[in-house]
A = this chain, B = another copy of it.
Amino acid sequence: MLTFWQNYPEIQAKLAAVQDLMAERLKINNSEIQDALREFAACGGKMIRPALFFLFAGLIDNKDKDDEKLVKIAASLELLHSATLIHDDIIDDSPLRRGLPSIETQFGKDVAVYTGDFVYTVYFELLCETMATTPFLVHNAKSMKKILQGELTQMQSAFQTDISVRKYLKAISGKTAELLSLSCLEGVYFAGGDKKMQYSARKTGLAIGCAFQIYDDILNFTVDLSAADKPILTDFRQGIYTLPLLFAKEADKEIILPYLEKSDKLTREECLKLAHLVDELGGMSAALKMANSLTDIALEEITKLPDTQNKQILAEVTKLLLQRNY
């Protein structure tokens, strides 16, 4: 999926180096699992986390940058993300990930548990090699904790009909925004950027992360009627109540609540009806408005960055990532 970056060849090249390093480090004494992990790493999605890391690092004009070290740190971000994905797929029983069968589907739950753990150790090794003498070792431990707490909060709130917008925002800032924010922050820090830029990076990452997740959640309520065989409202049916629904519920509790009370038993017809209701009650537009504001916060923060080519790219990529097809 590095084609997402085809107009930015410098970033694309750096991401390819990250993929190579990951393939090199994901060595395990079981060739089947190793091949699956490497394939997983090579498909790598858009690699947003390492990309943001490099884009922020590239803002700083510092001739002493250690490129090899930067590639390792970028890889650590992608590995932490990969480990959580492998474990997420166990939780969600996802058959596919990045268009490939998930590790769980290929090898079963049991192997997926240890394989995720193994990816954590490779992540951990890279941290040890690159940031042992910096505050970022502790910072990573804390971020990892926040990500897990976000996941646990979401899981424990599943099917809770009284979940609030506030709790939703807390869960997504842990689950998604924390790591994007860390990626931006580490980019500035390890390229030698000052405190002010570190602050901007963290804020931008947080806003992009939250907006990204909200758009994703909006997408989960967007039903493509031409694809009749595609599962719809998958989050909702797993009891994950996201922003469009929560806003619709705020608008008219009595209409929405009956759907919540049987979320895992809805027929396709009822799902379609609910998607329609959520839109009609203004849930979609309210969620979209919030995501747009967050995008604006990110774009506004980006204007404060030093005038470089990367600043321009960051603004473009933020729009590309966030302003999808609505």
Give residues in A with beta carbon < 8 Å to B.
28-30, 32-33, 84, 87, 90-91, 109-111, 113-118, 120-122, 124-125, 128-129, 132-133, 137-138, 140-142, 144-145, 148-149, 151-153, 155-156
Asked whether B125 lies within 8 Å of A129 as measured between CB atoms, the reply is no
Asked whether B142 lies within 8 Å of A125 as measured between CB atoms, the reply is yes
Contact A148:B121 (CB < 8 A) given known A111-B155, A113-B87: yes
A-B contact pairs, 23 of them (CB 8 A): A28-B152, A29-B149, A32-B156, A33-B152, A33-B156, A84-B117, A91-B113, A114-B148, A114-B152, A114-B155, A115-B152, A116-B117, A117-B117, A117-B120, A117-B144, A121-B145, A121-B148, A124-B141, A124-B144, A125-B142, A128-B141, A129-B138, A132-B137
Asked whether B155 lies within 8 Å of A110 as measured between CB atoms, the reply is yes
Asked whether A29 lies within 8 Å of B153 as measured between CB atoms, the reply is yes
Q: Which residues of B have CB within 8 Å of A29?
A: 149, 152-153
Q: Which residues of B have CB within 8 Å of A32?
A: 156
Nearest-neighbour CB distance to chain B for A167, whole angstroms, equals: 11
Nearest-neighbour CB distance to chain B for A128, whole angstroms, equals: 4
Q: Which residues of B have CB within 8 Å of A144?
A: 117, 120-121, 124
Closest B residue to A92 by beta carbon equals: B110
Q: A121 to B127, alpha carbons, bound, how many Å?
A: 13
Q: A152 to B30, alpha carbons, bound, how many Å?
A: 8
Nearest-neighbour CB distance to chain B for A263, whole angstroms, equals: 17
Which of A32, A113, A132 lies at the interface centre, i.e. has the most chain B CB atoms within 10 A of its CB? A113
Given A87-B113, A90-B113, list of 17 further CB < 8 A pairs? A90-B109, A91-B110, A91-B113, A109-B109, A111-B152, A113-B116, A115-B152, A117-B120, A117-B148, A118-B148, A118-B149, A120-B144, A121-B145, A121-B148, A122-B145, A124-B141, A132-B137
Contact A120:B120 (CB < 8 A) given known A29-B153, A152-B30, A155-B110: yes
Asked whether B125 lies within 8 Å of A141 as measured between CB atoms, the reply is yes
Q: A140 to B129, alpha carbons, bound, how many Å?
A: 12
Contact A30:B113 (CB < 8 A) given known A138-B125, A144-B121: no
Closest B residue to A138 by beta carbon equals: B128
Q: Which residues of B have CB within 8 Å of A111?
A: 152, 155-156
Closest B residue to A136 by beta carbon equals: B128
Asked whether A90 lies within 8 Å of B110 as measured between CB atoms, the reply is yes
Nearest-neighbour CB distance to chain B for A80, whole angstroms, equals: 11
Closest B residue to A124 by beta carbon equals: B141
Q: A128 to B137, alpha carbons, bound, how many Å?
A: 6
Q: Which residues of B have CB within 8 Å of A152?
A: 28-30, 33, 111, 114-115, 118
Q: A51 to B140, alpha carbons, bound, how many Å?
A: 29
Q: A295 to B177, alpha carbons, bound, how many Å?
A: 51
Nearest-neighbour CB distance to chain B for A177, whole angstroms, equals: 16
